[in-house]
Structure 1
Amino acid sequence: MNHLLPLAATAAASSGNSIWSIIVIYALLFGALYFFMIRPQQKKKKAEEALRKNVQVGDEITTIGGIVGRIVAIKDESDSFVLETGIDRTKIIVKRWALGKINTVHEDDK
């Protein structure tokens, strides 16, 4: 029986080391997941919010549905804007979340 005690001690020590190595591997995987997936998504969301917040009357925009036009009014209370599009200058009310891209280049963006 005495010759089994050193084996039991080394088995307990190695199981403790394997638990820590598994914890370290999971921490590294979560860190990689955060830096390659979660963080860029948060940056993209912040940039989209800034884009929607900084839209101005007179901007040429493209909506996420592909409608191209010029903003003629901004309605802050309903979180939308009026878009003028087409040859006959049709006016459409569009929600801010539908803003895809601003086509106008501002002086401060250069």
Structure 2
Amino acid sequence: MYNALLQAASTPAAGEGSLLMTIVPFALIFIIFYFFLIRPQNKKQKETEKMIAALKKGDKVVTIGGIHGVVATTKENTIIVKVEDGAKIEFNRSAIATVIADKVEEKPAKKEKKAVETSEKTETPAEDVKEDTSTETPAEDK
């Protein structure tokens, strides 16, 4: 009986592993977090910084508080946003959430491209039909 206890005490448990085997899963989890969370967040932050640095007079913006307006003047750390005819509010540059692009101009350009593509597609079958009619004339001669 004592021998069985001594043998059990001297053999390592099945769940014990080396230090390397415990560190590897944590390293893998960190790598996954880096590529799926940290790296995209850093890219988004850099894009936001570029957007804020490129603000100029006349840009339509939305603040983090949801206020829509047009940039009236820019200073080093602040921006004055014109909200209504006479209302101007001064914001920190970091309070600008998004710059509203003129989407109205982009949509017709896409529609024009689609119209050109569809007109090209409709012209191609018409040419094929002309070729088919020319091949039908020898069939009528038979």
Q: Which structure is higher in strand share?
A: 1
- Give the number of the structure whose residues are more often helix, by fraction: 2
Q: CA deviation at 1:19?
A: 2.2
Q: Percent identity?
A: 36
How do 1:1-110 residues align onto structure 2 when only pairs under 5 Å count? Answer: 18-76=18-76, 79-86=77-84, 88-105=85-102
TM-score, scaled to structure 2 = 0.58
Secondary structure at 1:66's aligned position in 2? coil
In structure 2, give the amino acid aligned to 1:82.
I
Larger radius of gyration: 2
TM superposition shift of 1:81 = 1.0
Q: CA deviation at 1:38?
A: 1.2
- Report SS of the residue matched to 1:70: strand
Misfit runs of 4+, over 6 Å = none
Question: Which blocks of at least 5 consecutive residues in structure 2 are unaligned?
Answer: 1-9, 103-142
Partners of 1:37 and 1:104 lie apart in 2 by 27
TM-score (norm 1): 0.73
User: Once the 2 structures are TM-superposed, how far is the Cα of residue 35 of structure 1 from its aligned partner?
Assistant: 1.2
3-state DSSP of counterpart to 2:73: strand
Q: Provide the alpha-carbon RMSD of the alignment.
A: 2.5
Higher relative contact order at CA 8 Å, sep ≥6: structure 1 or structure 2? 1
For residue 38 of structure 2, give the secondary structure of its aligned residue in structure 1.
Answer: helix
1:68 and 1:20 map into 2 onto residues whose CA distance is 54
Whole-Å separation in 1 of the counterparts to 2:53 and 2:18: 51
